[in-house]
Amino acid sequence: MASSPQLGFTTASGLEQDLAKLIVDSLRLEVAPGDIDPAAPLFGDGLGLDSIDMLEIALAVSKRYAVELRSENRAALASLRALAAHIAQQRTS
């Protein structure tokens, strides 16, 4: 699945990798971005992130990609893959 040309990524996985790095850097996680499964949950049993982390991610993503992302939008924040799809949709709307 190709992402929006506006994002500068030729594949969704490129955006997922960039998001993984953004999350690791923003939250100062002790995990390599490449070790995050794009389909795995970010919260709870996945990476074990909490609601404060969700706010940090929403802010970082909103700043980096200039898309509206609210921490209440749990579906968009469910996984890297869901987040990448949300960003691509917002950028093409």
Q: What is the pLDDT of residues 44-65, one digit of tens each?
A: 888 889 989 989 999 999 999 9
Q: What is the mean pLDDT of the chain?
A: 83
In sequence order, the β-bridge partners of residue 60 are none
Buried b (16+ CB within 10 A) or exposed e, 19-38: bbebbbebbebeeebeebeb
Q: What is the pLDDT of residues 7-17, one digit of tens each?
A: 444 455 799 99
Domain parsing of the chain, residue ranges = 5-92
Instruction: Return the CATH superfamily for domain 5-92.
Output: ACP-like (1.10.1200.10)
Q: If pLDDT is split at 50, 70 and 90, which confidence band does 90 have? A: confident
Dist. CA 45–CA 1, nearest whole Å: 27
Q: Give pLDDT, residue 34.
A: 92
Statement: the pTM of the whole predicted model exceeds 0.95: no
Dist. CA 38–CA 53, nearest whole Å: 17
